[in-house]
């Protein structure tokens, strides 16, 4: 079992002959999961001692807590907590998601230098994209620091281009008459741009630009992807003249890194037992990520659409809110709710033969790898996307916030592994008839068959990339060898 110790005593208590690396994620499941996976790989496959540095706060995230305190973490992976940040002292209630996250990280970084020094001689530090202040600290300590980019290569290429775009374009990017053309990459429609760059006057934009402008300071960049999934963006960042000109650090594909296992609760076991009784590939899994929430009106339309489709479903339901699509981001797994209080009256009775509703949280990896699961209605967060590809489950794309609209378009239009519901012009939500159409198309239609065939090809490609000698195994193995020498 991994040790969770206060930072002041870690270095004194832990002596090891193995080379030592530190890994620093920012808060949030979408960041913790992939950085924890690369930490595990360094311990298990490459014989490193890894200190996994957690930005602690006085806000509860039951799911995050459960993950980093898992008894299945390998020996040699130590969880080290930075002194807790008082969220209420550094944030306000009206702060948007990224501004809030960055304010928490900024405060936490004040103690990072002393913690890194106490950890002893480090070969490298792997840093999340919203922790780029660590580059300066590592530089002062003469420790190589690598960026781990937790999203798609498409978003990375856009982010590296953003400082140029910021200098060259006046006004708002969303008002541009044409798609944004990142050199060498597929164009991005203005409406698909990530939320954080849709208003250049707000703090979220300033924070995103701040971190993007510092990516070049990394000794290298880890990509949680592989060439077959994003060939055009991959070619641009490795061979394109623009990315050479801006001194992009060497990139190291290591993906898809996804959560491999999860401890199961009694309710988790119940929903898996229900899946055991369903026919192969017959169930649509509906989950909108660790932070995603719908409005009252939208969850009503989604429920009606599932009912009208007459397809089997497993719905992860979260208390609706009209305030923010990312309302559960910081307290994921902690929100207690009763879906009967907000799903349509009689919904449970009418769908009891073919549907199950789970409040708040489901064991996603176990559900996606289950033979009865035949489709995944997802918010298109990058972790969920990679989990779907790794387990060969085609998607209905239901983006909510951050860069999810960009991901949805790529998955549906470029990669061909997702179906996008159509939102009528002027409408603010996906209506029940459109939900019904998309679900039937995925579970019964020709388009569903095509996406299923394509995603199986990518599933095989992902598995090959991670094998010894594969295009995502070897870059980490080479770096590990370099760090050891």
Beta strand pairing call for 20-24 and 49-54: parallel
With 70 as the cut, is the pLDDT of residue 16 above it? no
Q: Hey, which residues are catalytic here? A: 31, 128
pLDDT in the model for residue 325: 59
- Over residues 133-161, the mean pLDDT reads 98
CATH class of 4-257+467-484: alpha beta
pLDDT in the model for residue 333: 54
pLDDT in the model for residue 426: 82
- Average pLDDT of the chain? 93
Q: How confident is the model at residue 286 (pLDDT cuts 50, 70, 90)?
A: very high
pLDDT in the model for residue 330: 54
Q: CATH number of the domain at 266-463, please?
A: 3.40.50.2000
- Do 266-463 and 4-257+467-484 fall under one CATH topology? yes
Contact 130, 102 (CB under 8 A): yes
Domain chopping of the chain, boundaries:
4-257+467-484, 266-463
**Sheet with 418-419: strands ordered across:** 355-359, 312-317, 283-287, 373-378, 395-397, 418-419
In this predicted model, what pLDDT tens digit does every residue of 201-260 receive, in sequence order?
999 999 999 999 999 999 999 999 999 999 999 999 999 999 999 999 999 999 999 998
**Distance from C-alpha of 193 to C-alpha of 204, rounded to nearest angstrom:** 14
In this predicted model, what pLDDT tens digit does every residue of 347-384 receive, in sequence order?
999 999 999 999 988 999 999 999 999 999 999 999 99
pLDDT in the model for residue 65: 86
Virtual torsion, Cα 439, 445, 447, 449, nearest 10 deg: 110
């Amino acid at each position: 079992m991994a040790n969770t110790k206060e930072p002041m005593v870690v270095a004194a208590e832990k002596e090891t002959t193995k080379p030592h690396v530190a890994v620093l994620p920012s808060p949030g499941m979408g960041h913790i999961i992939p950085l924890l996976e690369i930490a595990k790989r360094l311990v298990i496959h490459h014989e490193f001692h890894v200190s996994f540095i957690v930005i602690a706060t006085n806000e509860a995230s039951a799911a995050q807590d459960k993950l980093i305190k898992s008894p299945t973490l390998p020996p040699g992976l130590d969880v080290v907590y930075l002194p807790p940040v008082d969220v209420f002292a550094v944030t306000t209630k009206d702060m948007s998601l990224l501004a809030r996250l960055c304010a928490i990280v900024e405060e936490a970084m004040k103690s990072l230098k002393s913690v890194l020094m106490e950890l002893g001689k480090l070969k490298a530090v792997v840093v999340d994209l919203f922790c780029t202040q660590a580059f300066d600290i590592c530089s002062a300590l003469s420790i190589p620091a690598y960026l781990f980019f937790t999203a798609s290569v498409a978003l990375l290429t856009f982010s590296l281009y953003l400082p140029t775009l910021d200098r060259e374009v006046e006004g708002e990017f969303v008002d541009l008459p044409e798609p944004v053309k990142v050199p060498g990459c597929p164009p991005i429609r203005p409406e698909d741009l990530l939320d954080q760059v849709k208003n250049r006057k707000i703090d979220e934009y300033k924070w995103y630009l701040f971190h993007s402008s510092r990516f070049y300071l990394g000794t290298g960049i880890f990509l949680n992807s592989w060439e077959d999934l994003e060939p055009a963006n991959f070619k641009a960042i490795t061979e394109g003249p623009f990315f050479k000109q801006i001194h992009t650090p060497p990139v190291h594909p290591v993906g898809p890194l996804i959560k491999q296992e999860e401890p199961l609760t009694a309710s988790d076991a119940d929903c898996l037992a229900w899946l055991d009784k369903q026919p192969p590939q017959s169930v649509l899994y509906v989950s909108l990520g660790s932070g995603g929430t719908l409005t009252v009106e939208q969850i009503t339309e989604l429920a009606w659409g599932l009912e009208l489709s007459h397809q089997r479903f497993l719905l992860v339901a979260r208390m609706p809110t009209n305030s923010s699509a990312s309302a559960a981001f910081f307290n994921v797994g902690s929100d207690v709710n009763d879906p009967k209080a907000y799903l349509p009256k009689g919904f449970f009775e009418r769908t009891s033969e073919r549907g199950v509703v789970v409040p708040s949280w489901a064991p996603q990896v176990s559900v996606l790898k289950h033979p009865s699961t035949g489709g995944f209605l997802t918010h298109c967060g990058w972790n969920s996307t990679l989990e779907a590809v790794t387990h060969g489950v085609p998607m209905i794309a239901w983006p909510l916030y951050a860069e999810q609209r960009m991901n949805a378009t790529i998955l549906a239009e470029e990669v061909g592994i997702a179906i996008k519901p159509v939102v009528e012009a002027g409408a603010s939500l996906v209506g029940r008839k459109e939900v019904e159409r998309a679900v039937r198309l995925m579970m019964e239609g020709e388009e569903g068959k095509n996406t299923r065939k394509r995603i199986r090809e990518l599933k095989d490609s992902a598995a090959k990339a991670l094998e010894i000698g594969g295009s995502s195994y070897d870059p980490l193995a080479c770096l590990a060898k370099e760090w050891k020498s």
